[in-house]
Amino acid sequence: MTALDWKPPVRPELADAEPYGAPQLDVPVALNTNENPYPPPSAVIADIAAAVARAAGELNRYPDRDFDALREDLAGYLATESGVRVDRAQIWAANGSNEVMLHLLQAFGGPGRVAMSFAPTYSMYPEYARDTHTGWVQGRRHDDFSFDFDHAAALIAEHRPSVVLLPSPNNPTGTALPHDVIGRLAELAGDGLVVIDEAYAEFRRAGTPSALELLDDHPNLVVTRTMSKAFAAAGLRLGYLTADARICDALRVVRLPYHLSATTQAAALAALAHAPVLLGQVDRLRAERDALVAWLREHGYDVADSDANFVLFGRFDNRHAVWQGLLDHGVLIREVGPEGWLRVSVGTPEEMQAFTDALTKVEQR
């Protein structure tokens, strides 16, 4: 058989699938992946570099499989950030919260089981389901993106999902879930897990609580976090969750051995030691977000309330044309979410100025 005749025997459901990912274009203003626009300060870079150098001296050895020191420090960080103290056995971590979520579906999904979310929602969730042979059911939110509890309750009763995945603040809308909804959902889900994906939690507005506060009351509740967003460490690839220790034990069964490299653990520990500095721009980004929401509304756009570091705005008859027009002005945002809407990440004041200038020009055409 020649190479031309041979077809890789890829799973049929993957045959026409495109790899997930926002375009990584070299543009002056990248506001498309909800990163923190502020790089780590030099003192933090020096400490991370020194920690990685120490780890490099022992690269002949496998790293700590159970990353105990990192679990301890992540628990300490959460206690400071949210006031909720958990045991290190209640922490799990992996290469980004994407991998944490994959572990969850590997352990709690699978053939004959269902995972569920409510659109608009994070677009990776169906991919985790597909990759773990888990059935996928997607409900919907209200038109204003608030959570439709009655609809969710009916869908849960019908499908009995083993995992419900809910971002709060939601990506791509920025909407946070009220506490009572999370608590009632956890009750309704029975034995099933309710995963509150708090990738953007640190950006929540004052008075918006974290689901961490509900952990003690609901053993089936899981709260995921990441160092990719507020923590300004997307390149580190470190996501984590907090849950009942028995859930974490189940994840230990499905993870690959030594999945968190020695250099990742060293860099994450060094970054955590500088949490206040790395999170130092969060207030500024929150203020920038609120100013952006106000600007968009003043200029006649519909804008979803946001507790995150991005804003969903619309509505456009041809959103692709607007996205392309902005790109032509060097500003890359994200064409995602419901038809007619676009999502822009919050950047530096200069980047926000570039965005509003470009939008004004594009919309005048």
Ligand X SMILES: Cc1ncc(COP(=O)(O)O)c(C=O)c1O
192 interacts with ligand X by CB under 6 A: no
Told to check if 34 binds ligand X by CB under 6 A, we report yes
Token reading at 330: 């060097």
- Nearest distance from C-beta of residue 71 to ligand X, angstroms: 17
Per-residue b or e along 141-175, where b marks 16 or more CB atoms closer than 10 Å to that residue's CB: beeebbbbeeebeebbeebebbbbbbbbbbbbbbb
Residue 199 binds ligand X (CB under 6 A):
yes
Member of 63, 120, 126, 167 binding ligand X (CB under 6 A): 167
DSSP state of 135: E
Binding to ligand X by residue 98, rule CB under 6 A?
yes
User: In 3-state terms, what secondary structure has residue 42?
Assistant: helix
Q: Please, which residue, 122 or 323, has the CB nearer to ligand X? A: 122
Alpha-carbon distance of 304 to 307, in angstroms, equals 10
Beta carbon of residue 92, minimum distance to ligand X (angstroms, whole number): 13
- DSSP H or E segment with residue 251: helix 245-254
| 178 Ramachandran zone, left/alpha/beta (phi>0; psi -120 to 50) | beta
Q: Report helix, strand or coil for 78.
A: helix
Residue 87 structure tokens: 């045991």
Which one among 96, 161, 192, 347 touches ligand X, defined by CB under 6 A? 96
- When the beta carbons of 161 and 172 are compared against ligand X, the nearer one is 172
Position of minimal CB gap to ligand X: 96
* Site membership for ligand X, residue 122 (CB under 6 A): yes
Is residue 197 a contact point for ligand X (CB under 6 A)?
Answer: yes
Question: Which span (5-13, 91-99, 210-218, 337-345) binds ligand X, by CB under 6 A?
Answer: 91-99
CB of 15 to ligand X, least distance (A): 26
By CB under 6 A, tell whether 32 contacts ligand X.
no
# residues near ligand X by CB under 6 A: 13
User: Closest distance between ligand X and the C-beta of residue 318, in Å?
Assistant: 25
Pick from 161, 239, 338, 347: which binds ligand X (CB under 6 A)? Answer: 239
Dist CA 206 CA 340 (whole Å): 30
Q: How many helices (H) and strands (E) does the chain have?
A: 12, 12
Q: Using CB under 6 A as the criterion, what x/- string covers residues 302-321 for binding ligand X? A: --------------------
Show the CA angle centred on residue 161, arms to residues 177 and 21, nearest 5°.
65
**20 contacts 124 by C-beta, under 8 angstroms:** yes
Tell me if 145 contacts ligand X by CB under 6 A. no
| Residue 171 sits in the site that holds ligand X (CB under 6 A) | yes
Contact residues for 237 (Cβ-Cβ < 8 A; gap 6+): 95, 96, 99, 228, 264
Closest CB to ligand X among 346 and 362? 346
CB 120 within 8 A of CB 141: yes
The residue ranges that bind ligand X (CB under 6 A) are 34, 96-98, 122, 167, 171, 197, 199, 226, 228, 234, 239
